[in-house]
C-alpha cells in the first residue's frame, strides 16, 4: 500500500509542505507535540518520497540524479539524530519541486480541442431524402449536403451548387476560396454562404482534419522535456560531496562534521535556481500579456536560432481590407467608384463584399439603396443602384464586359502584390477596380528588426500564394519565404533537427507546427484557442508586439539561473570549509544552507521588475 501511494503521489502537495514547515518550526522551538521530534513529520511527508524516487532510479538503471545526494544527506542526518537538519533539507527540496511543477502543470493540455473542430453530424442524401447521420458513419461515395456556416465533415468534391469556403483553419489562406461543381473541398473548412452538395472521397476517420489531429499528437509525443540543471550535474555532485564528507570525517575523526558537509552540500540552490527564475519570469511576462504554458519554454526560447512566422493573423490582420480604389473611366472619381461598389455589396455575405462596404462607411456617408440584388458565386454580385445596373466581381468579368485597355494591366499589377481584385461594372462597362488584401500589422516590421538585432533569423511560412508571401515579406523585412504550404509542410519545416526553430502562429492550421517546433508561440485572437493549446507560450494581446520582450526575458531568465548556480556554489564552498573546521553543526549548517537558498529565491525575484523591451 505504501509503495502504491508513493507511485501515485511521489511529490507532496502544497498542503504537505505547509504541515512540514509548521512541524520544523515546532521542532526548532522545542515545542513537544508528540513522543517524537516533530521534524519527523517533515521527513515523512517530504523526505520519504525523495528517498523512494532516488532508490528506484538507482535500481532501475543506476540513474543518479540530485535526489541521490539529498537522500544521502537525509540518511546521514537521521543516523546522527539530526532530525531538524534532515527535515529542513527535505522541505527545501520539495519547495523547489513544487515551484517547478507549477510552471509545467499545463504543458500538454489542449490537444483535444482539435477534435472538437470536427463536426459530429453530416447531412447525407439517400435519393431525394436528406438524413442527419453521425460524421463517423460517412463513407467514401456518399452524397452530402453542406449548409451555410457548417464545417465540411470529410474530404470530397462539390457536385452541385456554388459557394465560398473559409480554408483558414486548414491552409491559412486569408480569403475565402470560391467553390463550384468539380472543385475539391477538405474537412475542417467552413462553408461561408449558400448550400452545396458534395461527394465524399474519404471516410471521416481518414479526413484531412483527423490526420491533422493525429500528427499533432505524434509531434507532442516526440518533444522530450528539458532535463533539470541539477540532474545534469548530479553524478559529479554526488561523487564530490561523498569525497569531501569522507575526507573531513577521516581527517578530523568526527562523524558529525562529515554529516554537516553532506547537509550543506545538498543541491537546493541548484534545484531552486531554475524553477524560481522561471516562476519570476513567468510573473513578469504575464503582466506584459504573455502566458507561458510549459516549464522549459524559457530555456528553449533562449536557445532559438530562427523564428518562423505564419502570415495570416500573425504578421497580418487576418481579414481583407481595401488597399486601393482606381477609377479607369474619366466619368467617375475613385470616391464615386467605391460608393457604387459598396452600394451593390451592402447585402453581400462575402468577406470581400463586407470589406468594401466597411471601407466606404469609414467616410461617414450613407449608402444609396440597392434593389434586385443577385449573387453569382465565383463571379460576383449584381444590383440596381440609382437606376443603374452595378456589378462587382472577380477579374473573370473582364471577358464578359467592355473593358478599358488598362483594366487587365491594373488587375495583373495588384495581383503581383498579393491583392485580390474586384472589378466594378456600370451597365456593361468596367469602370474601375477595387483591390483588397490582408494588410501588415503596424508592429510587425519593428518586431522582425528587433529579432534580427538579437541575431535571430526569420522566415515566413504561409499557405497563401507566392505573390502574397513576397509582398508581406518585403514589408516585414523577412527575406526567406515559403508559400503554398499545407499544415504538414509547415510542421516538417520547423521540425528540422538541425535548427532550433520557434514557430509563431495564430491559426488552427498552425497547431501542427507549434507542436513540432523547438518552441511554439501562439498569437492570441479570434480562432486562436487551438493554436494556444498547442503552443509553449501565448501572446495574449497586442499581436506580436511582445515577442522581443519574450525572447529578452528568456535570455535574462537563463542568465539568472547561471548566476544563482555560481552564487550557490560559492555559498556551499564557504559552508563546506566552515563545516570541516567544526564551526557549523548539522543544524546550523542546515540554517546556513537555508539562507543560501533564500538568497537564490530573492535574487531570482528581481526578474519580476525587468522592464519591457
Assess if residue 508 is contained within a domain. no
Q: What is the CATH number of the domain that holds 187?
A: 2.70.150.10
Nearest-angstrom CA–CA distance, 522 and 345: 34
Helix, strand or coil, per DSSP, at residue 327: strand
Separation between Cα atoms, residue 344 and residue 239, nearest integer Å:
81
C-alpha distances in Å from residue 20, one per residue of 43, 271, 298, 477:
8, 19, 31, 56
Q: Active site residue: 37, 310, 464, 506, which one?
A: 310
Structural domain contains residue 77: no
Overall number of domains in the chain: 2
Contact 451, 458 (CB under 8 A): yes
Per the annotation, the verdict on 310 as an active-site residue is yes
**What percent of the chain is predicted at pLDDT more than 70?**
79
C-alpha cell, 469: 508571401
Of residues 71 and 532, more confidently modeled? 71
Q: Which of 12-21, 354-363, 548-557 has the lowest mean pLDDT?
A: 12-21
Asked if the structure places residue 428 within a domain, the reply is: yes
- 359 contacts 371 by C-beta, under 8 angstroms: no
**Which of 152, 176, 206 delimits the end of a domain?**
206
Q: What is the CATH number of the domain that holds 377?
A: 3.40.1110.10
Q: Residue 146: pLDDT band by 50, 70, 90 thresholds?
A: very high
Percentage of the chain beyond pLDDT 90 is 20
pLDDT digits (tens, 9 = 90+) for 257-291: 877 777 777 666 666 777 778 778 887 887 787 87
Q: Lowest mean pLDDT of 309-313, 418-422, 476-480, 571-575, name the range.
A: 571-575
CA dihedral sign of residues 213, 219, 222, 223: negative
Query: Pick the residue with more confidence: 34 or 421?
Result: 421
Residue 171 lies in a domain: yes
Query: What residues make up the domain containing 139?
Result: 119-206
426 belongs to a structural domain: yes
Last residue of a domain, one of 168, 184, 206: 206
* Strand blocks (E) in 104-234: 121-126, 129-134, 143-146, 156-160, 163-166, 177-179, 184-185, 190-191, 196-200
Does residue 300 lie within any of the structural domains?
Answer: no
Half-sphere exposure for 247 (CA within 13 Å, toward CB): 11
Considering the domain boundaries, does residue 245 fall inside one? no
Burial of 144-170, coded b for 16+ CB within 10 Å and e otherwise, reads bbbeeeebbbbbbebeebbbbbbbbbb
With respect to residue 347, please indicate whether it lies within any of the assigned structural domains. Answer: yes
Phi-psi region of 542 (alpha: psi -120 to 50; beta: other; left: phi over 0): left
- Cα torsion 34, 40, 46, 48 to 10°: value is -120
Q: How far apart are CA 516 and CA 520, in angstroms?
A: 8
Q: Position of cell 538503471?
A: 61
Task: Select from 206, 227, 245 the last residue of a domain.
Answer: 206
Residue 128 is predicted with a pLDDT of 82
d(CA 545, CA 179): 36
This prediction has a pTM of 0.65
Range in 179-183, 253-257, 379-383 with the lowest mean pLDDT: 253-257
Separation between Cα atoms, residue 475 and residue 495, nearest integer Å = 27
Using the structure block, give the residue that is written with the C-alpha cell 538585432.
453
Mean pLDDT of the chain: 79
Amino acid at each position: 500500500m505504501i509503495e502504491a501511494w508513493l507511485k501515485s503521489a511521489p511529490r507532496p502537495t502544497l498542503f504537505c509542505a505547509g504541515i512540514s514547515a509548521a512541524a520544523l518550526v515546532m521542532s526548532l522551538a522545542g515545542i513537544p507535540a508528540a513522543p517524537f521530534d516533530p521534524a519527523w513529520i517533515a521527513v515523512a511527508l517530504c523526505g520519504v518520497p525523495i528517498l523512494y524516487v532516488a532508490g528506484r532510479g538507482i535500481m532501475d538503471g543506476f540513474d543518479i540524479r540530485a535526489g541521490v545526494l539529498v537522500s544521502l544527506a537525509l540518511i546521514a542526518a537521521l543516523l546522527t539524530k539530526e532530525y531538524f537538519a534532515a527535515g529542513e533539507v527535505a522541505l527545501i527540496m520539495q519547495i523547489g519541486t513544487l515551484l517547478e511543477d507549477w510552471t509545467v502543470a499545463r504543458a500538454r493540455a489542449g490537444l483535444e480541442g482539435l477534435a472538437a473542430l470536427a463536426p459530429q453530424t453530416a447531412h447525407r442524401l439517400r435519393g431525394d431524402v436528406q438524413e442527419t447521420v453521425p460524421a463517423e458513419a460517412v463513407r467514401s461515395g456518399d452524397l452530402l449536403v453542406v449548409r451555410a456556416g457548417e464545417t465540411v465533415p470529410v474530404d470530397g468534391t462539390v457536385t452541385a451548387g456554388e459557394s465560398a469556403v473559409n480554408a483558414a483553419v486548414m491552409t491559412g489562406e486569408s480569403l475565402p476560396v470560391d467553390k463550384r461543381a468539380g472543385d475539391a473541398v477538405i474537412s475542417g473548412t467552413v462553408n461561408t454562404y449558400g448550400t452545396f452538395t458534395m461527394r465524399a472521397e474519404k471516410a471521416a476517420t481518414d479526413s484531412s482534419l483527423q490526420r491533422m489531429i493525429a500528427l499533432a499528437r505524434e509531434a507532442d509525443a516526440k518533444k522530450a522535456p528539458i532535463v533539470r540543471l541539477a540532474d545534469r550535474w548530479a553524478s559529479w555532485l554526488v561523487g564530490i560531496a561523498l569525497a569531501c564528507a569522507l575526507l573531513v570525517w577521516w581527517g578530523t575523526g568526527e562523524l558529525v562534521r562529515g554529516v554537516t558537509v553532506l547537509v550543506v552540500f545538498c543541491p537546493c540552490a541548484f534545484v531552486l535556481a531554475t524553477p524560481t527564475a522561471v516562476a519570476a519570469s513567468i510573473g513578469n511576462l504575464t503582466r506584459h500579456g504573455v502566458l507561458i504554458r510549459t516549464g522549459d519554454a524559457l530555456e528553449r526560447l533562449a536557445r532559438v536560432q530562427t523564428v518562423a512566422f505564419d502570415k495570416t493573423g500573425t504578421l497580418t490582420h487576418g481579414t481583407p481590407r481595401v488597399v486601393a480604389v482606381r477609377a479607369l473611366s474619366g466619368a467617375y472619381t475613385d470616391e464615386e467608384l467605391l460608393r457604387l461598389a459598396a452600394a451593390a455589396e451592402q447585402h453581400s455575405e462575402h468577406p470581400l463584399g463586407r470589406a468594401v462596404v466597411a471601407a466606404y462607411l469609414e467616410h461617414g456617408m450613407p449608402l444609396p439603396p440597392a434593389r434586385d440584388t443577385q449573387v453569382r458565386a465565383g463571379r460576383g454580385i449584381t444590383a440596381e443602384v440609382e437606376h443603374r445596373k452595378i456589378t462587382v466581381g472577380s477579374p473573370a468579368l473582364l471577358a464578359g464586359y467592355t473593358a478599358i485597355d488598362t483594366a487587365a494591366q491594373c488587375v495583373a499589377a495588384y495581383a503581383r502584390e498579393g491583392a485580390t481584385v474586384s472589378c466594378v461594372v456600370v451597365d456593361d462597362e468596367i469602370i474601375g477596380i477595387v483591390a483588397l488584401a490582408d494588410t501588415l500589422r503596424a508592429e510587425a516590421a519593428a518586431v522582425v528588426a528587433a529579432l534580427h538585432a538579437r541575431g535571430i533569423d526569420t522566415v515566413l511560412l504561409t499557405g497563401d500564394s507566392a505573390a502574397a508571401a513576397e509582398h508581406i515579406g518585403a514589408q516585414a523585412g523577412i527575406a526567406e519565404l515559403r508559400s503554398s504550404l499545407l499544415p504538414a509542410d509547415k510542421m516538417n519545416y520547423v521540425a528540422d533537427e538541425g535548427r532550433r526553430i520557434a514557430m509563431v502562429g495564430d491559426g488552427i492550421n498552425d497547431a501542427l507546427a507549434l507542436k513540432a517546433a523547438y518552441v511554439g508561440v501562439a498569437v492570441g485572437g479570434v480562432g486562436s484557442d487551438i493554436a494556444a493549446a498547442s503552443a509553449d507560450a501565448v501572446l495574449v494581446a497586442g499581436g506580436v508586439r511582445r515577442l522581443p520582450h519574450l525572447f529578452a526575458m528568456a535570455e535574462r531568465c537563463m542568465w539568472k539561473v547561471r548566476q544563482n548556480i555560481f552564487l550557490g556554489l560559492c555559498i556551499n564552498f564557504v559552508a563546506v570549509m566552515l563545516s570541516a573546521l567544526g564551526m557549523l553543526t548539522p543544524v546550523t549548517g542546515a540554517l546556513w544552507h537555508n539562507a543560501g537558498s533564500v538568497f537564490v529565491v530573492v535574487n531570482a525575484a528581481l526578474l519580476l521588475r525587468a522592464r519591457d523591451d
